[in-house]
Amino acid sequence: MPGGGDVECWTLERGGTRVRLLTYGAIVQSVEVPDRSGDVADVVLGLGSAAEYAACPKPYLGAVVGRYANRIAGASFTLDGVGYDLPANDGPNCLHGGPEGFDRRVWRAERVPDGVRMSRVSEAGEQGFPGRLDVAVTYTLDEAGALTLRYDAVADAPTPVNLTNHTYWNLNGAKSGPAVGRHTLRLGASRMTPVDAARIPTGGTAPVAGTHHDFREPRELDGDHDHNFALDGGGPAAELYARETGRLLTITTTEPGIQLYTSDGFAPPVPYAPGSGVALETQGFPDAPNRPEFPSTILRPGERHASTTTYAFTTR
């Protein structure tokens, strides 16, 4: 890394899937899977080295983001009557845990059956968040080549916790050009959280029926999406399909929401054009620490934050 320090690259391979992971940011650097003809390509927007990721912090390519994924309005919240101020890195708001969030840290890695476990300690006060958080993300591949991320965390004081992975997918291949307009998407969500111009929830949820956000049935992926969807449960959270190559990504999760972002904001030094990939971030709801009507994201001592998201790859 610039200024010193080593970063490891771990490779998982099973069931026709090859995944490369970096201990910097717990990043998914690449995912290689076959298309309907058996041709293998990397379907993740990635960079070539840890130094390149360090020089390009946004848009969080492939990283685990935290302590709080998505936005916290006004970069502040009140918990148990105590106010906390966070660094503002998205206008007046705190995005993805702040400018020195989990995506900017080097994680410890250890081998586990069928995969690797990455862990770190987020000390009390890191980026303004209360309590020490011991956090781990375990990456495994099953016999069919499906990639599962299991998130675990415990805290010694009450604190908001919202963890996700920020991989951008292009199932035609990372360097194949636009993803928008060349994929179909289905989301298992009949409601979403409306937002204002700063992407902060305005309160409650609203039906997607009759709107630009209706992906209840598969349809062509268009642009201008950076929204959280409230998952219905009982089925896949998302199904992303590339008709040119036949690759199908099916995402299942224990989380209540999923953020769809169509990479419209890509700009230099990001080496990809706007619309080159689609992020599907399983998560708790944005700004939940300030929104009592949303599912709680507060972790308390004696509790365990545990969530699982699986990415399954098939063709048709």
Considering only CA atoms, which of 78, 46, 118, 23 is closest in space to residue 272?
A: 46
Domain chopping of the chain, boundaries: 9-315
Q: Is the peptide bond before 269 cis (omega within 30 degrees of 0)?
A: yes
In degrees and rounded to multiples of 5, residue 290 shows phi and psi of -105, 5
Q: Binding site: what residues are annotated?
A: 70-71, 166-168, 226
Q: Which position has the token pair 């927007």?
A: 45
Cβ atoms < 10 Å from Cβ of 313: 21
**What span, in angstroms and rounded, lies between the C-alpha atoms of 247 and 183?**
10
- 166 noted as active-site residue: yes
Q: Binding site for beta-D-galactose: what residues are annotated?
A: 70-71, 166-168, 226
In degrees and rounded to multiples of 5, residue 266 shows phi and psi of -60, 135
Q: What is the pLDDT of residue 4?
A: 77
**What span, in angstroms and rounded, lies between the C-alpha atoms of 208 and 205?**
9
User: Which one of 32, 126, 239, 281 is the catalytic residue?
Assistant: 281
pLDDT of the chain along its 316 residues, tens only? Answer: 877 789 999 999 999 999 999 999 999 999 999 999 999 999 999 999 999 999 999 999 999 999 999 999 999 999 999 999 999 999 999 999 999 999 999 999 999 999 999 999 999 999 999 999 999 999 999 999 999 999 999 999 999 999 999 999 999 999 999 999 999 999 999 999 999 999 999 999 999 999 999 999 999 999 999 999 999 999 999 999 999 999 999 999 999 999 999 999 999 999 999 999 999 999 999 999 999 999 999 999 999 999 999 999 999 9
Q: What is the pLDDT of residue 2?
A: 74
- 281 noted as active-site residue: yes
Q: Which amino acid is at 215?
A: F
**What span, in angstroms and rounded, lies between the C-alpha atoms of 294 and 287?**
9
**What span, in angstroms and rounded, lies between the C-alpha atoms of 56 and 268?**
9
Q: Does 3.30.70.580 match the CATH number of domain 9-315?
A: no
Q: What is the pLDDT of residue 3?
A: 76
Q: Are 296 and 288 in contact (CB under 8 A)?
A: yes
CA 16 to the chain's CA centroid = 23
User: Which one of 32, 96, 126, 166 is the catalytic residue?
Assistant: 166
Buried b (16+ CB within 10 A) or exposed e, 220-243: ebebebbbbbbbeeeebbbbbbbe
Q: Are 168 and 45 in contact (CB under 8 A)?
A: yes
